[in-house]
Amino acid sequence: MITSIAVVSPSNAPLYISIFNVPDDESLRLQALMHSSLDVLEERVAHGCRQGPNAPPDFFLGLLSISNGFKVYGAISNTKRRFLVATTDGVVREEDVKMVLAKIHTLYCDAASNPFYDPGMPLDSPQFAKEVKKVATMVQQQQPPLPQIKTAA
C-alpha cells in the first residue's frame, strides 16, 4: 500500500508531501525516512544511474531504503526534482511504483506549467493533491488480496 508521496526540489526543500493511512505517531518517522532516502538518491546519482555504458541516466532509481516497515522508492527528473514514494512492506510491485512515479512526474509538470506557480515554492494546488491521491488509491485497488494460509486444526 502506498503510504506517502513527495516531490522535493534540487535543494532538498519539500515541494509537496502527502501521507495516506499512517497514524500520527508513525507520520514523523516516515517523513524522516523519506528525507534520509534523499542521501541514498544523491549517492546513486553521483555514481551514475545508467542501465549500460552508453545509456542515458535512468529516471527510476529503485528502492532507496527500508525501515520501520516502510520502503522508499525514488526517481529524479532531468531538472533535478526528486520524486519519492513510500510503501508498506506489503505486496507492491516495482512496476507499479515505477508507473506511480512517472504519473506523479507528469502531474507535477502539468502543475508547474501554471504561469502563476513559482518553481521554488511549495505546490499548493488542490487539483494536484486530488490527482496524486487518485493515483495512490488506484495502485492500492489493483493489488490482489494476500492469499489466506489455512492451518490444519
* pLDDT value for 54: 55
pLDDT digits (tens, 9 = 90+) for 95-127: 889 999 999 999 999 999 999 988 889 999 999
CB-based contact 41:32 (threshold 8 Å): no
* pLDDT value for 44: 84
pLDDT, mean of residues 118-145: 82
- The C-alpha angle 74, 147, 68, rounded to 5 degrees, equals 40
Residue 153: pLDDT band by 50, 70, 90 thresholds? very low
Which grid cell is 153?
A: 486444526
CA atoms lying within 13 Å on the CB side of residue 109: 11
pLDDT digits (tens, 9 = 90+) for 40-91: 998 888 877 655 555 556 788 889 999 888 999 999 998 899 999 999 867 6
According to DSSP, residue 123 is labeled: -
**Three-class SS state of 6:** strand
Name the nearest CA neighbour of 39 among 65, 20, 17.
Answer: 65
More confident residue, 142 or 14: 14
pLDDT, mean of residues 5-16: 93
* pLDDT value for 140: 66
Element (H, E) at 16: strand 14-19
C-alpha–C-alpha distance, residues 10 and 41, integer Å: 12
The DSSP secondary structure of 52-115, one letter per residue, reads STTSPBPSEEEEEEEETTEEEEEEE-TT--EEEEEEESS---HHHHHHHHHHHHHHHHHHHTST
